[in-house]
Structure 1
Amino acid sequence: MQKLNLPLSKVRTEEKEGKTYIFDPIRKKMLLLTPEEWVRQQFLQMLLGMGFSKNLVGIESGLTVNKRIKRSDLLFYERGGTPFLLVECKSPTVKLSNETFQQVAQYNSKIKAPFICITNGLQHYFCSINFEKGSYEFLKKIPLPCYINKKK
């Protein structure tokens, strides 16, 4: 798989019938290794390594947007179940653009996480969302949920 602009995490892979599969530690199953799945698993491992809880994340959770079923890539929660960070992962060959940002913003209009992120494994953009003002602000650092800050 392509080298990413992320710390390389050790992940379990298997070859079956000429295809490569990667183990998803959250869903506890092997998944076909696509470029997007590679980004999702490496980004997930990075966040888990920072202290994000694997018990407080949903992967490919379903939601309805404009009467269509969509799936969010990664959704991290605070303790108590409040959405915290919505992450949209793309293949490294996908250029991050206003269109990809609009996709995660549209998903977040339903989810209402205070932070969103888009990544293709090479570039990563984090934003803080102000729902009252209908605005957003790009962040220089990854936002951390309260349960991580309380440990320090």
Structure 2
Amino acid sequence: MDAQEFKRALKNIKTPRKVMHAGSLHYLDPIREKYVPATPEEEVRQRILQYLMKVLRVPKQAISVEYLLSKAGIDSKNRADIVVWYYEPNDGYWYALGVIECKAPDVDIMTVDVKEQVFGYADDLLVDYVVVVNGVYSCCWLYDDKEGYKKLLKKLPEYQKMIDKDVEFDDYYKTPERFKFEELEANKYNLINKRSILGEKTNPDHLTFLTNLYDCLILDKNKMPKGKYRCFELVEDYGVRYLKVGNSSGGKYVGYYRSFKVRKNGQEFFMNISIFDYGSESKDHNILTVSSDSKGKNHNSLQYSLKK
């Protein structure tokens, strides 16, 4: 949903009245049923709560606020801003349907840190929907904990449509065209200055090649043919996914990966490839990462230096 449409949608949403409590302005939260300080972030949260209940028709009993993940049996002290649940009558259990992260209006919701935070909650709670809002902009994804990032949605649908996965994808975010070969040299600083993929100290002699390689991976208009290769079978070129991938030293790389569904020795799994700046500001240190999923978690199997 674009900024103007989102602001219009929230314009007529009234937050609970601010009241003096313990010497400062507070809201009486309708879900938690307690007084909470009226911070800019809390105002966004209160507007979204009213939007969920009054516009999207989410039942009050299907909403949790500042949900402690440990309540779901997760070994974590983190709290998710808002969790939307649905009741499954066949087994009598409530399941997490979506997680919503609320930020103050001056916070950029598309940074890696914000995405890492909310997609981490999505991984833990096994939800279908991931939403980030700051009262001005919103971003909503249909998500799968094993397959990772799927597609941006135009907006979060009404509650029953959420359950039925009756959604509209956002055509605005189409895969852009790759640079033509003769355009690469003129655009070789694109991955540093515009997309922040490569480090500023990257050897300039390598930038044209790395730009072409990255676009080959991430701009997935052309697919790798299915079939049997020398040491594996390609089941499907799965395209681009937004993933959080860890390594053996405890580091993690969050961003866009090109994913391939592979079969080998009777087992089927994902292989994911991407390029990242290793995080060194003083020297040329970019890496090509190759990861695979194991028991629902993605792990870097190779971090290949791109210095040479």
TM-score interval w.r.t. the shorter chain? 0.7 to 0.9
The answer to whether the aligner puts 1:145 opposite 2:169 as a matched pair is: no
Please say if residues 78 and 146 of structure 1, whose CA atoms lie closer than 8 Å, have aligned partners that are also in contact.
no
CA distance in 2 between counterparts of 1:93 and 1:44 reads 20
TM-score scaled by structure 1? 0.85
Gaps of 5+ in 1: none
Compute the displacement of 1:93 (Å).
1.6
Return the letter of the residue paired with 1:25.
P
The SS at the match of 2:68 is: strand
Larger Rg: 2
Q: Which moved more, 1:44-53 or 1:132-141?
A: 132-141
Match of 2:44 among 35, 39, 42: 39
TM-score scaled by structure 2? 0.44
When the two chains are superposed, the root-mean-square deviation of aligned CA atoms in Å is: 2.4
Q: Which moved more, 1:39-48 or 1:11-20?
A: 11-20
The SS at the match of 2:80 is: strand
Aligned pairs for 1:1-152 within 5 A: 5=7, 6-7=10-11, 8-16=13-21, 18-50=23-55, 51-63=57-69, 68-80=76-88, 81-96=94-109, 97-146=111-160
Please say if residues 123 and 145 of structure 2, whose CA atoms lie closer than 8 Å, have aligned partners that are also in contact.
no
The SS at the match of 1:69 is: coil
Gaps of 5+ in 2: 1-5, 89-93, 165-308
The SS at the match of 2:121 is: helix
CA distance in 1 between counterparts of 2:163 and 2:148 reads 27
CA distance in 1 between counterparts of 2:41 and 2:15 reads 17
The SS at the match of 1:94 is: coil
Q: Which moved more, 1:119-128 or 1:137-146?
A: 137-146
Please say if residues 68 and 78 of structure 2, whose CA atoms lie closer than 8 Å, have aligned partners that are also in contact.
yes
Q: 1:128 to 1:149 in 2, by over 3 A?
A: closer
The aligned length equals 146
Please say if residues 60 and 71 of structure 1, whose CA atoms lie closer than 8 Å, have aligned partners that are also in contact.
yes
Q: 1:116 to 1:15 in 2, by over 3 A?
A: same
Q: Which moved more, 1:46-55 or 1:17-26?
A: 17-26
Structure 1: 4+ residue segments shifted above 3 A? 147-150
Return the letter of the residue paired with 1:93.
D
Please say if residues 86 and 163 of structure 2, whose CA atoms lie closer than 8 Å, have aligned partners that are also in contact.
no
Please say if residues 79 and 147 of structure 1, whose CA atoms lie closer than 8 Å, have aligned partners that are also in contact.
no
Percentage identity across paired residues of the two chains? 26
Q: 1:10 to 1:72 in 2, by over 3 A?
A: closer
